[in-house]
Chains A and B, each alone.
Chain A
Amino acid sequence: MGEGAKLNARGFGLAVPLLAVSFAMAAVNWTAVSKLWATLILITYGSVLVNVGVHYVPVGGAPAAMATATGVGTGTTQLAAGSGLTGLITAAAMSDKPFSVILANGAAGAAVMMAITMLVGNLIYVYGVGCPPCSAKVDRDPLTGWDQEPYVTPGTEGHGIPTVSFVSGIFGGLLGGTGGAMTYFALYKVLGMSAALAGVLAMGFFYANAVLASYNIGGTIEGYHDPKFTRVPRAAACSIAFGIVASIIAYVMSTYV
Chain B
Amino acid sequence: MLARTLLLSAVAPGGEEEEEEVEVAVAIPPWKLILAGVASGIVGISLAWVHPVIPAIAAIPVIMWGADAVRRVAGYGLGTGVPSIGYMGLGGGSVAALLAVAMTNVTYAPIAAAVGTVLGAAIGALLGVLDRRVIKMKIPVMERCSTEIVAAGTLALMCLMAAVAGDFTWSAVYSRVIRTGIIAVLWVACALSLLHPYNACLGPSETQERTLSLAAECGSISAIVAGLASANPIVLIAGGIAWLISFWKFWVYTKRDAADVVWTGVVPKGE
Contacts and interface: CB of A to CB of B under 8 A. Distances in A.
Interface of A: 61-62, 75-77, 81, 194, 196-197, 200-201, 203-212, 214-219, 233-238, 240-242, 245-246, 249-250, 252-253, 256-257
Contact of A234 (B9, B91, B174): B9
Interface of B: 1-3, 5-6, 9, 78-81, 83-85, 87-88, 90-96, 98-99, 102-103, 105-106, 119, 123, 126-127, 130-131, 134-137, 170, 174, 178-181, 183-184, 187
Contacts of B183: 196, 200
Interface of B is mostly: helix
19 contacts: A62-B81, A75-B80, A194-B179, A196-B181, A208-B88, A211-B87, A212-B131, A214-B84, A215-B80, A219-B79, A219-B80, A234-B135, A237-B134, A240-B6, A249-B95, A249-B123, A256-B102, A256-B106, A256-B170
A211 B178 contact: no
Interface centre among A207, A209, A235 (most CB of B within 10 A): A207
| Best-buried of B83, B126, B170 by chain A (most CB within 10 Å) | B126
Nearest to A231: B135
B122 to A, nearest CB: 8
B109 to A, nearest CB: 14
A250 B23 CA distance: 39
Given A77-B84, A253-B98, A233 B5 contact: yes
Contact of B127 (A77, A212, A240, A256): A212
A200 B79 contact: no
Contacts of A245: 123, 126
Question: Interface centre among B102, B103, B105, B180, by most A CB within 10 Å?
Answer: B102
A219 B84 CA distance: 11
Contact of A215 (B79, B98, B103): B79
A257 B175 CA distance: 13
Contact of A214 (B9, B80, B102, B105): B80
Nearest to B170: A257
Nearest to B1: A233
User: Which 3 residue pairs are nearest across A and B when measured between Cβ atoms?
Assistant: A207-B91, A208-B91, A256-B102
A201 B127 contact: no
Contacts of A242: 126-127, 130
A215 B91 contact: no
A17 to B, nearest CB: 14
Given A218-B79, A252-B99, A253-B99, A211 B91 contact: yes
B85 A211 contact: yes
B107 to A, nearest CB: 9
A206 B135 contact: no
A234 B81 contact: no
Contacts of B96: 249
A207 B87 contact: yes
B80 A205 contact: no
B84 A204 contact: no
Given A77-B87, A242-B126, A204 B92 contact: yes
A233 B2 contact: yes
Given A196-B181, A206-B91, A241 B126 contact: yes
Given A196-B181, A215-B137, A237-B6, A201 B94 contact: yes
Contacts of A205: 91, 95
A230 to B, nearest CB: 12
Given A249-B99, A253-B98, 4 more contacts: A194-B178, A208-B88, A237-B3, A238-B135
B184 A200 contact: yes
Contact of A238 (B85, B103, B123, B130): B130
Nearest to A256: B102
A145 B92 CA distance: 43
Contacts of B127: 208, 212, 242
A209 B95 CA distance: 13
B5 A234 contact: yes
A252 B170 CA distance: 14
Contacts of B99: 249, 252-253, 256
Nearest to B103: A256
Nearest to B137: A215
B46 to A, nearest CB: 19
Contacts of A256: 99, 102-103, 105-106, 170
A219 B78 CA distance: 9
Nearest to A213: B135
B88 A207 contact: yes
A211 B84 contact: yes
A76 B93 CA distance: 21
